[in-house]
Each structure stands twice: as structure tokens, then as C-alpha cells.
């Protein structure tokens, strides 16, 4: 071993050494505090890494051993070692990076303290020293490979350049930018500007912008009718629950062998509940619920039962329609198709913008992205607040540049011919 | 243009594509294969264009509409690959996959208005999933070839089959990469960050790395076939875990990828 040229044994030994060093560091100083990499330290660390890369690249023209670092064997062994850690990560339950595994929080999870995986940092893999060292080693190799090929670039290397430079760019920005990533949660009440949010540890943060919720709404899918087993509460038929959507009245629907005639359908109705009867009147109001007056026959067509069935709301109870001792017709809660918040956002600079924020449609303002996250589940459509996630990631454009290169590189990979043997 | 006309266009295009795929298997069929495939593509494109005009928007909104594009792009991509690499099988493979989507549109169109939870209602949803499905099929084919060779080491043909595996893995890895990156872009729009090491993402990364190792290993040691074949089996195993195995792992805790 250690005779030139180096092979897999040497490559794997280096990775093993880094792994051991990482584990010892983990025991000695605890996990990597990625939060410390926030501006300007992430930027400085990234710059130092790039300088190291260039120095090694220049030096490798002279020293053969350094040239090994930009070879296939180094690449294969480094990716394999990292793969081992990723597999371990996939097999162990991961705790959020901000939690302190070795202190009070560990009591809650009750497993991390004695657990060797927790000790070595494997339960918070992305902030564990072994992972960090092997990742940086792999990134260094990737950088050296890319530099070596780019320094004598020819057009036929374009695919190579897009794949390797793209991956390097994306990973570099993701890693050194991770300290600058801010993710906050804000609960915005109706009609009152909110400028405070909480971070992962539930500590309050004041923001340079304020969000005022103007209105909140949920678009729901049409209500469904289903059959429920009276004793177990399970939806029938067991295993593959059947349901029919109610979209209009009058209509005749077929549900698992029963014939359901929709006599009246009110998308929004209020219940008038007496001691022995329940009636519904069509009415759009806070807390109104969908209701159907149904006439249900069995397979033979004999008239069986008729009555109201409703999904209920925070105001009204759900109303089932019992068909027999065993079975009831029910209307489960309607599924949301879309939930959205109409907001006005004010910035410190005096800017003021209105926007509609939905799931999958965040709003971007002043370097922040505002996401629809949640609402008052109990009140549903009539929620009086909306929960937003606010994200700031100044390194994102660099990550996207890398992703763009990789997408183009994938097209080259698709079209390229493997080497002939 | 309306959906009711789809069956006529689909059948006509499918006949052309099938003819093209058959021609590709014949030594002298190159030109005919291209001509037939192009005719099929034109017919299908005419339907898409007609839908576009009559809807007054690009037909990209419902699942059925996005499936139209996949049914179109699969044979198109197959044709480009065939013209570049002259693989006899590629047209048949692409046409078969495309017909799956055509048939879903013909026989199961009710999926159009099925309830989708809000996070899934994204233009990235269909590409993300379908690109992964294609990768799955291609890498599965490579694994089958490797298992075949491992079970019956045919000395003469080994290099040829390994080359076939290589080209399948190049195509498969290209799709895995695209699927993963589409997923990242979508995650940014839906959940606020492009990569969260959710268990599904972790296993996707592991799968991706295994195939990266395979590619570089093959470039470096073209003659070490056996190790390469085991790498293929290993990579496919990771892909299985990523596909459905994660749901049974203790790490799956509260994955955002577990629906319903
Ligand atoms: C996006 C992921 C990647 C893809 C698709 C990819 C693909 C390729 C391909 C197709 C080649 C041969 C190119 C040619 O010779 O023209 C190659 C070469 C190489 N790759 Fe990668 N690779 C990827 C990631 C990596 C990583 C992560 C490393 C190292 C940590 C790496 C290290 C190398 C090395 C050392 C070579 C040989 C370069 C040379 O001999 O000049 N690659 N890669």
C-alpha cells in the first residue's frame, strides 16, 4: 500500500481515516453547528474552500500525489464512503438539526443518549462531523476534477463540464449557504399587521416586514357520500372504501350496491336541530355546512330510508343517515382543493404589496418567500388566522444555476455514447 | 377539437408509431422507421395543437392533458435516440411506454377530476413522477440484463451486454437526475426548501450515488464486468427502497412523501 499509483485500498483508507477523525471530533466537540456559518462566516468559509481548491489544483501540476485526487479512483471511493453514510441516514430516524441530542431533548426521544448511532452523530447526519468531513472531501475531489478538465477545455467536454461544474456549484452553495437559510413561522390574524415570527426553537424573531391577512378562504372538493359500519366506524366496503361525489340535485347515484337519490343538495346550509328532528335550510353563513336530503334504496329498489345527511362544521354536528342496524350513509369532511390567503405586505423601505398566497404559489418580496402553511383546522373555511412560513435563502440563485447546468448536463448524458470496450 | 376525437388521432398515431418501431428491427428499415414515426408524431401534434386552440390555453392543466405531452414526447425522444444511436429496441420501448399513457387517457379519463391535495397540484407533479417512472423502467431493464449475465455467464456476448447496460444506465441516470432536480424545484415552491433530507429524498440520493459510482467504475475498469453487474443489482435495490421500501422503515416517521 501507499506505493504509486494509489488504488482502491488507499482511497478507502483515506475515507476511513476521515470517518474516524469525524467520529472522534463528534465525541470531543459535539455536532457541527451549521448556524455558525451565517453571514459573513459562510461566505468566508466558502471563499477559503475555493482558494484551497485553486492552490491544490496549481500544486497538483507538480506533485503526482495531488494529481491522484482528481482521478477516478479517488472519486469512486469518496462517493462510496459518502453513500455509506447516506444509507445509514436512510435507516436511522433523523432528529431535527436544531435539537440538542445529548441534552434535555434526548430525554424526550429517550434513545439518543445510549444509542451509539446518536453518539456518533448519525441521528442528525447532516450536521455530524463524519458526514461533514467526507462531504467536503468529495466536494474537493469534484472541484479538482472539474478544474483539471476545464483548464484545457474543448467543446467535446461540454457535457462533462455541465454535469460536474453544475453539481459542484449546487452542492457548494447548498453547503456553505446552509448557515444563511432562515425558516420562520408566522401566525397572522385577520386585519392586523404582524411582524413577529418564531424560529424552529419557538424563539420570537422580529422581521423587517409585516404581513396583514385580509381574507382567508378554502376551496373544497364537492362533498362525498360514503357508507359507514355503525359498530366499528370503518368506511365500507372494507379495504377499498367507495364514495360518490354529489355535484347537483336531483340526481341518482350508485354507491356500493345502494341506490342513492339526491333529492336536495345545499352546498352551504344551516341545521335546525330539534329534540327528535334535524332540518337544513340553504344559507351562506359562518359555519354553514354541506347537506344532502337523500332517499336510499337497496339493490331491489325497495324504498328504505330518507333523510338529511351532512358533514357538519365547527358550528353544526355531522349528521349521518342510518340505513340499517349495521350501516349508515355519511358525508365525510370535504377535502380542500385550494387554500389561499389574501395579504398586504409592508416592508421597512415603505413598500406595500397585495398578493394572494396559496400552497405551491409563494409570494416573493425583499429577499423573503412567504408560503401558505396552515390555518385554524377547527374552524376550517372560517379560520380567523393563517399560518405562513417565511424563508430567506440568499444563496438560492447559485444553487439554481447549478441545477440548471445539471439539467442541461442530463440531456448530454442522455445523448452521449458510452465508451466502447 | 374535443376529447371525443382523441381516439381517432390516438389510433392513427399509434399505428404509425408501431409500424416505425417494427421497421427499426429490420436491417434496411431505417428510413421507413423514421418516416412512419414522424407521421405519427405529426398526427398526435395536430391533436395537441387543436386542443390548444379550442381551449385557448396550453393543454397542461389537468392530468389527462399532461399525459398528452408524455405520449408525444416519449416517441419523439425515442426517435432522436434511434437516429443518433441506432438501437433497434429503443423505438419499441418508447412507443410501448407512450401507449400506456394513451390508454390511460382513453380508458381512465375520470382521473381528470380526482381530488388532489393542494401540495400535489403543481405543474411539477406530473413531470417529477413520470420522469422517475421512465427511469425506473430503463434501470430495471439494465438490472435484468445484469442478472441474466450473472446467472448465465455467456463469455462471447458479455462485452456487448455490458455496453447495452451502460447505455441504459446513461439514459436511466439522466432521467433520475432530471426527476430529482424537478423534485427539488417543486419542493422549493411547495415546502420552502429544495432539499430537506426527507427519507424519500435520502434514498433518492443514495440511489443516484450508486449509479454515479457505476458510471465512473465502468469508465475506469471497463473489463471488470462482475463487479459492475453487482453494482447494478445494488443500485436497483436502493431504487426499490426509494420507491416503496421507505414506507416500511423506522426512519419514515413523518415523511412528506407519504400520502393518505
Ligand atoms: C452529476 C453527476 C455526475 C455525472 C452525470 C458524471 C458523469 C461522468 C461522465 C459521463 C464522465 C466521462 C466524461 C468523459 O470522459 O468525457 C465522467 C468523468 C469523471 N467524473 Fe463524473 N459524473 C458525475 C459526478 C461526479 C462526481 C461527484 C465526481 C467526483 C467526486 C466525478 C468524478 C469524475 C472523474 C474523476 C472523471 C474522469 C475525468 C477525466 O478523466 O478527465 N464525477 N463523469
Domain boundaries, given as residue ranges, for chain A: 8-154, 182-218+337-392, 222-334
At A148, list the grid cell.
Answer: 483539471
| Residue B146: inside a domain | yes
Whether residues B78 and B110 share a domain: the answer is yes
B257 inside domain:
no
Of B173, B197, B219, the CB nearest to A126: B197
Q: Using alpha carbons only, give the angle A154, A155, A157 rounded to the nearest 5 degrees.
A: 75
What's the domain count of chain B? 2
Percent pLDDT > 70 in chain A is: 95
**Other C-beta atoms lying within 10 Å of the C-beta of residue A114:** 9
Interface membership of B203 toward A (CB under 8 Å)? yes
Same domain (yes/no): B109, B126: no
Mutate to test the pocket of ligand 1, among A138, A160, A170 (most ligand atoms within 8 A of CB): A160
User: So what's the pLDDT on residue A17?
Assistant: 97
| Per-residue model confidence as pLDDT tens digits over B32-78 | 999 999 999 999 999 999 988 887 777 766 667 878 887 898 898 88
Contact B118 A369 (CB under 8 A): no
From the list A73, A389, A409, the residue facing B220 with the nearest CB is A73
Nearest CA in chain A to B219: A419
A382-414 pLDDT, tens digit per residue, is: 999 999 999 999 999 999 999 999 999 999 999
A373 Cα to chain B: minimum distance (Å): 8
Residue bearing cell 415546502: B191
At A147, phi and psi to the nearest 5? -60, -45
pLDDT at A204 over 90: yes
Q: Are B238 and B232 in contact (CB under 8 A)?
A: no
Atom of ligand 1 nearest to the CA of A78: 30
Residue B254 maps to a domain: no
Cα B100 versus chain centre, distance: 12
In a domain, B159, yes or no: yes
Q: Flag whether pLDDT at B161 surpasses 90.
A: no
* Cis amide linkage into residue A78, ω under 30° from 0: no
Q: How far apart are CA B141 and CA B158, in angstroms?
A: 16
Q: Which fold has domain A182-218+337-392?
A: Tick-borne Encephalitis virus Glycoprotein; domain 1 (2.60.98)
Quick check: B233 and B213 in contact, CB under 8 A? no
Between chains, do A90 and B162 touch, taking CB under 8 Å as contact? Answer: no
Predicted TM-score (pTM) of this structure: 0.82
Shortest CA distance from B181: residue in chain A: A403
User: Do B112 and B155 have their domain in common?
Assistant: no
Helix%, strand%, coil% for chain B, nearest 5: 80, 0, 20
pLDDT value at residue B260: 32
CA distance A21 to B43: 63
B112 with B124, same domain: the answer is no
B124/B67 same-domain check: no
Domain final residue pick, B116, B133, B158? B116
Which range of residues forms the domain containing residue B177?
Answer: 119-249
Cβ-based neighbours of B117, under 8 Å, separated by 6 or more: A335, A336, B259
Number of H helices, E strands in chain B: 8, 0
Residue B116 has pLDDT above 70, yes or no: no
- A385 alpha carbon – ligand 1 mean position (Å): 51
Per DSSP, the three-state class of A22 is helix
Nearest to A413 among B174, B216, B253 (CB): B174
For the stretch A255-293, pLDDT in tens is 888 899 999 999 999 998 887 788 899 988 888 999 999
**DSSP label of B156:** T
**pLDDT tens column, A226-259:** 999 999 888 887 766 778 888 888 888 888 888 9
- Are A381 and A156 within 8 A, CB to CB? no
Residues A288, A268 contacting (CB under 8 angstroms): yes
Q: Which chain A residue lies closest to B189 (C-alpha atoms)?
A: A360
Claim to verify: residue B86 and residue B133 sit in the same structural domain: no
- Lowest-confidence region among A5-14, A84-93, A241-250, A393-402: A241-250
Ordered DSSP codes for A247-291:
-SSSEEEEETTEEEEEEEEEEEEEEEE-SS-EEEEE---TT-EEE
**In chain A, helix, strand, coil percent, each to 5?**
35, 30, 30
Is B70 in the same domain as B167?
Answer: no
Q: How far apart are CA A320 and CA A323, in angstroms?
A: 9
* Residue A184 near residue A207 (C-beta atoms within 8 A): yes
Sign of CA dihedral B25, B29, B34, B39: negative
For residues B111 and B129, membership in a common domain is answered with: no
CA B55, CA B50: separation in Å to the nearest integer? 8
Residues paired with residue A385 on neighbouring β-strands, in sequence order: A189
Mutate to test the interface with A, among B94, B174, B201, B232 (most CBs of A within 10 A): B174
Q: Are residues B93 and B144 in the same domain?
A: no
Q: How many CA atoms lie within 13 A of A384 on its CB side?
A: 4
CA separation for the pair A126, A85 (Å, rounded): 10
Report yes or no on B85 lying in a domain. yes
The number of residues in chain A equals 421
**ipTM of this predicted structure:** 0.86
For chain B, give the mean pLDDT: 85
Q: Which of A372, A38, A369, A400 is nearest to A183 (CA)?
A: A369
Query: Residue B258 falls within a domain, yes or no?
Result: no
C-alpha grid cell for residue A253?
347515484
Amino acid at each position: 500500500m501507499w506505493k504509486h499509483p494509489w488504488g482502491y485500498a488507499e482511497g478507502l483508507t483515506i475515507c476511513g481515516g476521515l470517518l474516524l477523525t469525524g467520529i472522534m471530533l463528534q465525541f470531543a466537540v459535539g455536532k457541527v453547528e451549521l448556524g455558525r456559518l451565517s453571514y459573513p462566516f459562510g461566505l468566508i468559509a466558502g471563499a477559503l474552500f475555493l482558494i484551497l481548491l485553486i492552490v491544490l489544483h496549481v500544486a497538483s501540476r507538480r506533485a503526482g500525489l495531488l494529481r491522484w485526487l482528481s482521478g477516478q479512483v479517488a472519486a469512486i471511493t469518496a462517493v462510496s464512503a459518502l453513500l455509506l453514510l447516506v444509507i445509514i441516514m436512510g435507516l436511522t430516524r433523523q432528529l431535527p438539526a436544531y435539537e440538542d441530542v445529548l441534552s434535555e431533548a434526548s430525554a424526550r426521544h429517550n434513545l439518543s443518549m445510549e444509542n451509539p448511532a446518536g453518539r456518533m452523530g448519525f441521528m442528525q447526519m447532516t450536521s455530524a462531523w463524519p458526514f461533514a468531513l467526507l462531504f467536503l472531501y468529495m466536494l474537493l475531489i469534484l472541484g479538482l476534477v472539474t478544474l483539471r478538465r476545464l483548464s484545457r477545455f474543448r467543446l467535446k467536454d461540454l457535457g462533462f463540464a455541465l454535469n460536474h461544474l453544475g453539481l459542484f456549484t449546487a452542492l457548494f452553495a447548498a453547503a456553505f449557504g446552509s448557515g444563511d437559510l432562515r425558516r420562520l413561522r408566522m401566525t397572522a390574524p385577520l386585519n392586523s399587521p404582524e411582524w413577529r415570527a418564531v424560529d424552529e426553537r419557538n424563539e420570537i424573531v422580529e422581521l423587517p416586514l409585516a404581513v396583514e391577512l385580509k381574507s382567508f378562504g378554502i376551496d373544497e372538493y364537492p362533498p362525498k357520500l360514503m357508507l359507514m359500519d355503525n359498530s366499528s366506524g370503518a368506511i365500507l366496503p372494507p379495504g377499498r372504501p367507495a364514495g360518490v361525489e354529489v355535484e347537483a340535485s336531483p340526481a341518482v347515484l350508485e354507491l356500493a350496491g345502494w341506490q342513492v337519490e339526491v333529492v336536495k343538495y345545499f352546498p352551504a346550509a344551516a341545521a335546525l336541530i330539534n329534540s327528535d328532528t334535524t332540518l337544513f335550510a340553504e344559507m351562506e353563513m359562518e359555519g354553514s355546512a354541506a347537506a344532502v336530503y337523500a332517499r336510499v334504496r337497496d339493490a331491489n329498489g325497495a324504498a328504505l330510508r330518507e333523510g338529511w345527511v351532512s358533514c357538519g362544521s365547527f358550528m353544526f354536528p355531522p349528521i349521518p343517515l342510518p340505513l340499517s342496524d349495521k350501516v349508515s350513509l355519511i358525508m365525510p369532511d370535504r377535502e380542500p382543493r385550494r387554500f389561499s390567503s389574501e395579504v398586504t405586505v409592508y416592508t421597512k423601505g415603505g413598500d406595500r404589496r397585495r398578493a394572494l398566497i396559496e400552497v405551491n404559489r409563494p409570494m416573493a418580496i425583499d429577499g423573503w418567500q412567504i408560503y401558505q402553511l396552515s390555518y385554524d383546522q377547527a374552524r376550517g373555511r372560517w379560520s380567523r388566522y393563517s399560518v405562513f412560513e417565511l424563508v430567506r435563502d440568499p444563496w438560492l440563485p447559485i444553487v439554481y444555476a447549478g441545477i440548471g447546468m445539471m439539467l442541461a448536463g442530463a440531456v448530454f448524458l442522455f445523448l452521449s455514447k458510452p465508451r466502447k470496450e | 377539437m374535443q376529447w371525443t376525437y382523441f381516439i381517432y388521432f390516438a389510433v392513427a398515431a399509434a399505428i404509425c408509431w408501431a409500424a416505425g418501431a417494427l421497421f427499426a428491427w429490420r436491417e434496411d428499415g431505417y428510413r421507413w422507421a423514421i418516416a412512419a414515426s414522424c407521421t405519427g408524431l405529426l398526427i398526435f401534434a395536430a391533436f395537441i395543437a387543436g386542443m390548444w386552440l379550442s381551449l385557448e390555453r396550453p393543454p397542461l392543466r389537468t392530468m389527462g392533458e399532461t399525459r398528452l405531452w408524455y405520449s408525444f414526447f416519449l416517441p419523439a425522444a425515442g426517435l432522436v435516440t434511434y437516429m443518433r444511436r441506432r438501437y433497434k429496441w429503443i423505438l419499441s420501448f418508447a412507443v410501448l411506454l407512450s401507449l400506456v399513457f394513451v390508454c390511460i387517457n382513453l380508458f381512465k379519463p375520470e382521473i381528470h377530476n380526482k381530488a388532489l391535495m393542494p401540495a400535489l397540484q403543481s405543474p411539477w407533479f406530473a413531470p417529477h413522477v413520470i420522469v422517475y417512472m421512465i427511469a425506473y423502467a430503463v434501470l430495471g431493464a439494465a438490472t435484468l440484463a445484469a442478472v441474466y449475465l450473472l446467472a448465465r455467464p455467456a463469455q462471447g456476448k458479455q462485452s456487448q451486454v455490458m455496453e447495452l447496460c451502460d447505455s441504459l444506465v446513461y439514459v436511466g441516470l439522466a432521467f433520475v437526475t432530471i426527476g430529482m432536480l424537478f423534485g427539488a424545484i417543486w419542493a422549493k415552491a411547495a415546502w420552502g426548501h429544495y432539499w430537506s433530507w426527507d427519507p424519500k429524498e435520502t434514498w433518492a440520493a443514495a440511489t443516484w450515488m450508486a449509479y454515479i459510482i457505476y458510471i465512473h467504475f465502468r469508465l475506469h475498469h471497463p473489463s471488470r464486468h462482475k463487479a459492475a453487474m453487482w453494482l447494478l443489482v445494488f443500485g436497483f435495490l436502493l431504487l426499490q427502497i426509494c420507491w416503496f421500501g421507505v414506507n416500511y422503515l423506522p426512519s419514515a416517521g413523518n415523511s412528506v412523501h407519504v400520502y393518505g
